[in-house]
Amino acid sequence: MRRSLPIALLVVAALLAPAAALAQPPGDGPDQTIAPDQRIAVDEAVLARGHMDVGPRFVDGAWKLMVHDDTGDPSVWRNLDRTAFQVSDKALLTVPDNPAYAFIGKPGARVHVLPQVQNPEVAWVGWNTQDPEVMEVVDRGVTLTLTGVDGPGELFVYLQAGNFGAADVLWDSTKAARQDIWVDTNTHTHANWVFTTPGVYLVQVEAHAKLVDGKEARNTATLRFAVGDATDTKAALAAKPRTSASAPPSAAASEKDSVGSDGGSGPPWGVSALIAAVVVLGALVVVVVVRGRAAKRQGTSG
């Protein structure tokens, strides 16, 4: 099984900490295997501490993005629309006075961080592609795409390699709407999740993969974060995304070709244009005929 990427200490630390002290020596993430028959929990859940991974799996033959909850014994899979990740004030850290982390905010700002390295006081959120059926039928890997973020502040998800290099920013809510992460099959990775302002965040993520039989699998789900002690987890569970997850152009074009430009059962654009042209031509013919008859009457009466 593939080990996770090298990991480092939180990329934001106390204001007075020197930048060189931000990284730990590289280490390995938790090795894990996922049983094919792990149960899917149907109850609502608030995950505040312990290990959990977002990842795809097949449910009754359907591709679905879920969360693998390893906080209890035994581990279970959970539906993301019934799960909230709680980010308590124990996750608060201070942005250091270092240009390497200027993308997060101004030095001295307080931000909530779910870290790449496990902190037992807060949730440890990563992603995996280790469901046995996923590893069997997916061709090479899975693309996880950020398609939208609703929240009172900004979200940054990034990796720190542990070699004092620059942060590898994977998702940045201030950038383009669609941002891809490529994840090989049988991969298990953790990253830093930074939220700049307390409140409810709805993070829309699409999981897309090509299968070995040539078909494609695609599903979009919403990750729900309740950031800050004062944020109600029930509000996070009940919230509806304001931004819609947009399909990539190729998928949108394919869908329009099959079911019509409005997603319904209407004719394709080319057929509609032809119909419109016929209608206009018919109207012109009627006008010509009417005018001809009128001229004939006038000639007869004269």
Q: Split the chain (302 residues) into runs of 10 and give each run's mean pLDDT.
A: 37 34 37 90 97 97 97 96 98 94 95 97 98 97 97 97 80 93 97 98 98 98 98 97 54 32 34 39 41 46 46
For residues 207 and 192, state if they share a domain.
yes
- Say how many domains are in the chain: 2
Whether 293 maps to a domain, the answer reads yes
Phi, psi of 51 (to 5 degrees): -95, 135
* Burial (0-12, 13-18, 19+ Cβ within 10 Å), 53: buried
| Residue 160 and residue 292 in one domain | no
Among 245, 268, 292, identify where a domain stops: 245
Domain-located, residue 2:
no
Domain shared by 241 and 253, yes or no: no
Write down the pLDDT at residue 115: 96
| CB of 263 closer than 8 Å to CB of 251 | no
pLDDT score, position 32: 84
Residues 228, 207, 128, CA angle at the centre, nearest 5°?
70
Q: Is residue 51 part of a domain?
A: yes
Q: Are 302 and 200 within one domain?
A: no
Q: Which domain holds residue 131?
A: 19-245
Helix (H) or strand (E) holding 256: helix 249-259
Same domain for 71 and 128, yes or no, is: yes
Tens of pLDDT, residue by residue over 112-151, are 999 999 999 999 999 999 999 999 999 999 999 999 999 9
7 within some domain = no
Q: Scanning the structure block, which residue is given the tokens 């974060």?
A: 225
DSSP assignment, residue 273? H
Same domain, 46 and 24: yes
Q: Are residues 58 and 128 in the same domain?
A: yes
State which of 245, 262, 291 marks the end of a domain.
245
Same-domain status, 201 and 251? no
DSSP 102: T
| Residue 274 domain flag | yes
> Is the residue at 208 inside a domain?
yes
Residues 101 and 156 in one domain: yes
Same-domain status, 290 and 219: no
Question: Is position 73 within any domain?
Answer: yes
Q: What integer pLDDT is reported at residue 176 of this predicted model?
A: 81
Confidence at residue 163, expressed as pLDDT on a 0 to 100 scale: 60
Clarify whether residues 168 and 195 are in a common domain. Answer: yes
The verdict on residue 9 lying in a domain is: no
Q: CA 238, CA 295: separation in Å to the nearest integer?
A: 71
Q: Within this chain, do residues 253 and 238 fall inside the same structural domain, yes or no?
A: no
Which SS3 state, helix, strand or coil, does residue 25 take? coil
